[in-house]
Structure 1
Amino acid sequence: MATPTLDKLDAFEADSASSHLISVTFRIRRFNPEVAADAEWQDFRIDIDPKERVLDALHKIKWDVDGSLTFRRSCAHGICGSDAMRINGKNRLACKTLIKDINPEKPITVEAIKGLTVLKDLVVDMEPFFQAYRDVMPFLITNGNEPTRERLQTAEDRERFDDTTKCILCAACTSSCPVFWNDGQYFGPAAIVNAHRFIFDSRDEAGEQRLEILNDKDGVWRCRTTFNCTDACPRGIEVTKAIQEVKRALITRRF
């Protein structure tokens, strides 16, 4: 029996690799301030494995079709939070969204998250978002002398704020909030979540100070409890619940 040649094996492997590819249209909202004042939609049709992620498709478009396509990404594993964008009208992480899960038979729309100024294509100015984060003092604050041993905490005390430690600052929650869309001065869900993480930390001593910051007219009372933020969070944080707990702490001063 004849032995398959290397060329035939290579051809067979290539055919096998391409047999499961499908043709998908990605409709991307492009914006380049150096070219035009308004954004416009542009279609890209590529062949890709439906089990790949939207981030993989964006890479393929940028590397093989149009190198000017601009977006942020870093770890590509849902930890850095840098590739948050609106995919089919919903805030998602491109690195966690499988093509097969978002109906690839129709054009898949990709655009920048809302409420923040678009700098180019899918990249927005994150400075207002991070300024709100900095304003709530997202770090441990204690008084007195530095301890000679670690600050111990019970498992029950740790569990009190465990959920809000999961935030990766992707801005998916804040940029899904209709209040934030209409008024960029609102602190937004992510900043409140990170304040919650320290307000309810038994080792921290600046809870009252953070509560007063969030008692401002642009603080927690702007929340309309639409649950958009909870639905958008890629980490599954109960964002709306955390905001309500901060409101309750402001009223009762118990935390």
Structure 2
Amino acid sequence: MTATIDEAPASSVPEIPSFEVTLKVRRYSPESAHGDEAYWDEFTVTAHGTDRVLDALHKIKWEHDGSVTFRRSCAHGICGSDAMRINGRNRLACKTLLKDVNPDKPIIVEPIKGLPVIKDLVVDMEPFFASYREIMPFLVTTGNQPSGERLQSAEQRERFDDTTKCILCAACTSSCPVFWTDGQYFGPAAIVNAHRFIFDSRDEGAEQRLEILNDKEGVWRCRTTFNCSEACPRGIEVTKAIQEVKRAMITRAF
């Protein structure tokens, strides 16, 4: 007797609805016919409700114009590579859902402000990282090598927990009006990373960092506009951290 196998039932998973979305991308390509003049290109692609701005940019590059240039790496909001201005706000393209930025109208995509544009949405990050390096983003200790771990209490770790979340995307720094008008300003990200070490109980370089940030282009240039806190994709209370560094500068309590 031959056994029979029933056919598997057809999949009942509903199809994800699609929609058309237009991206208006600011272009800059010195080697093109436009030379040193920036210009705008519009692209319309088919997207789904789960798609992010980065997905739309991928479709543009892969299916429409391979010369469109932008940075991206992990695509999960961790590497910070794809920070850009989307509808006038600094965001990570990989975390911004198309449906959340009104896809019924063209979505404006531009490079972040205050840093030299290399091509299209790619900026020169060297001035940003130069400020980061200057605040000594590493533990500073003196004396002999420790015989064991440098232990911390939960309370000591909590003191700087918020500022350990920085992914160096430059969204906060490039949202700062002071940074736009004064390229010498350290910027919020450098101060946030100084905070992370100044308030670390294992570190002995707080005085050096505070002296660096006491420069005329340092922490006192902050005007507390809160742009940086609003722009941070990791939810860091950037303005609060800057205020705490200012207070430490005066009180030397850290």
Instruction: Give TM class, smaller chain.
Output: over 0.9
Deviation at 1:133, TM superposition (A): 0.2
Matches within 5 A, 1:229-240: 229-240=228-239
- Of 21, 24, 28, the residue aligned with 2:25 is 28
Q: Deviations over 1:30-65 (max 9, x none)?
A: 000112111111100111113200000000000000
Amino acid at match of 1:33: P
Matches within 5 A, 1:160-175: 160-175=159-174
Measured in 2, the distance between the counterparts of 1:224 and 1:171 equals 18
Q: Deviations over 1:191-237 (max 9, x none)?
A: 00000000000000010000000000010000000000000000000
Measured in 2, the distance between the counterparts of 1:153 and 1:50 equals 45
- Residue matched to 1:253: 252
- Residue matched to 2:128: 129
- Residue matched to 1:5: none
Amino acid at match of 1:34: E
- Residue matched to 1:92: 91
Amino acid at match of 1:32: S
- Residue matched to 1:4: none
Deviation at 1:96, TM superposition (A): 0.2
Number of corresponding residues:
243
Matches within 5 A, 1:25-174: 25-35=22-32, 36-174=35-173
Deviation at 1:148, TM superposition (A): 1.2
- Residue matched to 1:244: 243
Matches within 5 A, 1:9-28: 17=15, 20-28=17-25
Measured in 2, the distance between the counterparts of 1:168 and 1:128 equals 16
Measured in 2, the distance between the counterparts of 1:117 and 1:159 equals 36
Q: Give structure 1 stretches of 5+ with no counterpart.
A: 1-8
Measured in 2, the distance between the counterparts of 1:231 and 1:23 equals 29
Q: Give structure 2 stretches of 5+ with no counterpart.
A: 1-9
Measured in 1, the distance between the counterparts of 2:25 and 2:66 equals 14
Task: Determine what percentage of the aligned residue pairs are the same residue.
Answer: 76
Query: TM-score, normalising length from structure 2?
Result: 0.93
- Residue matched to 2:217: 218
Structure 1 outlier segments of 4+, above 3 Å: none
Measured in 2, the distance between the counterparts of 1:100 and 1:204 equals 44
Measured in 1, the distance between the counterparts of 2:202 and 2:221 equals 28
Query: TM-score, normalising length from structure 1?
Result: 0.93
